[in-house]
């Protein structure tokens, strides 16, 4: 072989390697994983929908909420809502702080679960969760679950006096509100969505409350005014659960949700205008999302809405994205995020200032459930970068992605490598390019 031919072959190999690197992602700029929780004897996990469990401030500090507990809440096995902060200079995580002061009137701890948070421009963190403290033993501690909030001023701590957001007393024994999702609007108002069985013991409806620009809610929230859907208007037939919300620049709220545990698949979407009521729900998929893997939503600065969900099928379940272009009434057809044929689930997503999508999901292509990150171009409908984020050797679940200053990508998830669930985190070195969406609003 002459040297020219050898050089051509080498060049071809180099180009192929570079192309491969482009396709599968240059993970060289990702820093090592960081373990956030360090107790092997406590089971920690991210919220059922962790889309709003992490926020990154303009200083680069990461604010994170999660919870611990077992399957059923009881005095013997209370739950706990936790908060951690990652210092932007040292890169160190704070020791977890307990957020919920969840005690019955008899002083028995029961706890809260499935938290979300909102980060104000002044650095105040507000945490929202559903809380068991008003439940009673004779009804198995699940008869009156209410929404609570607590706040942490910058450089301060959470209070001992949590704020009770819902205060309802139905005649039935399942007057429960669940999994509040908080989103901050540009003027400081916080939108809070949840599902609640107050009006029907067996069929939940969707609710939405809004704070004032200081982040304070009417407490208790007037439930009738917050009600978005009415189960009697859909024939008392479908339980709506696990809403996720995104707020566009006009203040319109975009909502996705799914069904309850017994009802199977379904991805629903509806828009709530700034003054009106909820538009008629659209069903985006009849074979996607479940009560244990609800859909996620985000809104780009261009006004496009993106929904991510798991489509269940054979031979494998896939992570899909659907786009609603700004001002359009119907979504584009769903697009599979990756062409790899493996089981995928738990997709979460954010957009940057250019409208590029940044996704995380759980993927079983390695034989176990691992967290993957992908950058997705919604114009060409292609994945331009793909990186395996978690490094095993056990399963991972429910990742959440946030974008921060200097194009830092922040990813957090539940990881089972220590037996009990633990919270893991990974970020990258600063990148050039697009800004995270929220910087546009400042």
Asked if residue 175 binds Ca ion (CB under 5 A), the reply is: yes
Asked if residue 150 binds Ca ion (CB under 5 A), the reply is: yes
The footprint of Ca ion on residues 113-142 (CB under 5 A) is none
- Phi, psi of 15, deg, nearest 5: -65, -40
Residue 128 makes CB contacts below 8 A (sequence gap 6+) with 115, 116, 117, 118, 147, 148, 149, 165, 180, 181, 182, 192
Q: Give the burial class of 368: count Cβ atoms within 10 A of its Cβ; 0-12 exposed, 13-18 middle, 19 or more buried.
A: middle
Nearest to 372 by CA among 353, 355, 396, 407: 396
- Min dist CB 144 to Ca ion, Å, is 4
Asked if residue 196 binds Ca ion (CB under 5 A), the reply is: no
How far is it, in rounded angstroms, from Cα 377 to Cα 354? 10
* Site stretch for Ca ion (CB under 5 A), options 37-45, 54-62, 162-170, 288-296: 162-170
Nearest to 335 by CA among 374, 299, 375, 380: 380
Choose between 116 and 144: whose C-beta lies nearer to Ca ion.
144
* Site stretch for Ca ion (CB under 5 A), options 116-124, 153-161, 334-342, 363-371: 153-161
- Min dist CB 106 to Ca ion, Å, is 19
- Min dist CB 134 to Ca ion, Å, is 7
Q: 196: which strand partners? A: 177, 205
Choose between 149 and 411: whose C-beta lies nearer to Ca ion.
149
The count of other CB atoms within 10 Å of the CB of residue 139 is 11
- Min dist CB 125 to Ca ion, Å, is 12
How far is it, in rounded angstroms, from Cα 165 to Cα 128? 9
* Site stretch for Ca ion (CB under 5 A), options 60-68, 164-172, 270-278, 374-382: 164-172
Maximum CA extent, the chain: 89
- Min dist CB 146 to Ca ion, Å, is 5
Choose between 131 and 370: whose C-beta lies nearer to Ca ion.
131
Binding letters toward Ca ion, positions 332-361, x by CB under 5 A: ------------------------------
Choose between 150 and 304: whose C-beta lies nearer to Ca ion.
150
Return the residue matching tokens 């540009």.
186
- Quick one: which of 168, 258, 322, 390 contacts Ca ion (CB under 5 A)? 168
Tally of CA atoms within 13 A in the half-sphere of 137 that contains its CB:
8
* Site stretch for Ca ion (CB under 5 A), options 99-107, 296-304, 367-375, 398-406: 99-107
- Min dist CB 215 to Ca ion, Å, is 16
- Quick one: which of 128, 132, 158, 268 contacts Ca ion (CB under 5 A)? 158
Choose between 134 and 296: whose C-beta lies nearer to Ca ion.
134
Nearest to 404 by CA among 18, 54, 19: 54
Tally of CA atoms within 13 A in the half-sphere of 399 that contains its CB:
34
- Omega before 314 within 30 of 0, i.e. cis: no
Nearest to 205 by CA among 177, 244, 184: 177
Q: Give the burial class of 333: count Cβ atoms within 10 A of its Cβ; 0-12 exposed, 13-18 middle, 19 or more buried.
A: exposed
* Site stretch for Ca ion (CB under 5 A), options 171-179, 281-289, 307-315, 317-325: 171-179
- Quick one: which of 33, 45, 131, 162 contacts Ca ion (CB under 5 A)? 162
Choose between 55 and 127: whose C-beta lies nearer to Ca ion.
127
311, 328 contact by CB (below 8 A): no
Which tokens hold the place of 161? Answer: 């006096």
Choose between 102 and 298: whose C-beta lies nearer to Ca ion.
102
* Site stretch for Ca ion (CB under 5 A), options 59-67, 112-120, 168-176, 397-405: 168-176
Residue 80 makes CB contacts below 8 A (sequence gap 6+) with 67, 68, 69, 98, 100, 111, 112
* Site stretch for Ca ion (CB under 5 A), options 106-114, 156-164, 337-345, 415-423: 156-164
- Min dist CB 270 to Ca ion, Å, is 24
User: Site size for Ca ion, by CB under 5 A?
Assistant: 7
Which tokens hold the place of 30? Answer: 């990702």
Q: Give the chain's end-to-end CA distance (angstroms, integer).
A: 61
Choose between 150 and 352: whose C-beta lies nearer to Ca ion.
150
Choose between 131 and 386: whose C-beta lies nearer to Ca ion.
131
Binding region for Ca ion (CB under 5 A): 101, 144, 150, 158, 162, 168, 175
């Amino acid at each position: 072989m002459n040297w020219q031919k050898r050089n051509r072959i080498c060049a071809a190999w180099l180009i192929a390697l570079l192309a491969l690197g482009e396709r599968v992602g240059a993970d060289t700029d990702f820093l090592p994983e960081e373990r956030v929780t360090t107790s092997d004897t406590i089971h920690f996990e991210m919220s059922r929908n962790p889309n709003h469990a992490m926020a990154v401030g303009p200083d680069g500090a990461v604010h994170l909420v999660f919870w611990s507990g077992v399957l059923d809440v009881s005095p013997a096995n209370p739950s706990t809502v936790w908060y951690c902060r990652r210092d932007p200079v040292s890169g160190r995580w704070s020791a977890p702080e307990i957020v919920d002061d969840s005690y019955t009137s008899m002083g028995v701890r029961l706890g809260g679960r499935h938290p979300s948070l909102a980060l104000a421009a002044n650095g105040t963190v507000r945490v929202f969760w559903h809380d068991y403290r008003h439940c009673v033993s004779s009804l198995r501690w699940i008869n009156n679950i209410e929404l609570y909030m607590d706040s942490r001023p910058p450089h301060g701590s959470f209070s001992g006096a949590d704020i009770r957001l819902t205060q309802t007393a139905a005649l039935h024994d399942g007057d429960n509100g669940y999994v509040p999702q908080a989103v901050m609007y540009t003027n400081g108002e916080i939108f809070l969505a949840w599902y609640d069985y107050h009006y029907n013991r067996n069929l939940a409806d969707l609710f939405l409350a809004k704070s004032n620009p200081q982040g304070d809610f009417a407490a208790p929230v007037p439930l009738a005014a917050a009600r978005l859907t009415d189960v009697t208007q859909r024939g008392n037939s479908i339980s709506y659960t696990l809403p996720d919300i995104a707020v566009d620049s006009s203040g319109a709220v975009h909502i996705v949700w799914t069904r309850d545990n017994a009802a199977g698949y379904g991805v629903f979407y509806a828009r709530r205008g700034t003054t009106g009521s909820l538009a008629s729900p659209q069903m985006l998929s009849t074979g996607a999302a479940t009560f244990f893997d609800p859909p996620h939503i985000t809104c780009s600065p261009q006004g496009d809405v993106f929904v991510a969900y798991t489509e269940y099928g054979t031979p494998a379940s896939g992570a899909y994205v659907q786009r609603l272009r700004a001002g359009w009434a119907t979504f584009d057809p769903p697009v599979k995020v990756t062409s790899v044929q493996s089981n995928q689930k738990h997709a979460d997503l954010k957009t940057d200032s250019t409208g590029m999508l940044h996704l995380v999901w759980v993927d079983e292509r390695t034989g176990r459930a691992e967290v993957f990150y992908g950058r997705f171009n919604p114009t060409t409908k292609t994945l331009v970068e793909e990186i395996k984020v978690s490094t095993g050797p056990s399963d991972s679940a429910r990742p959440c992605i946030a974008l921060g200053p200097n194009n830092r990508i922040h990813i957090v998830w539940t990881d089972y490598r220590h037996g009990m669930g633990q919270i893991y985190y990974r970020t990258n070195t600063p990148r050039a390019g697009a800004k995270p969406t929220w910087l546009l609003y400042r």
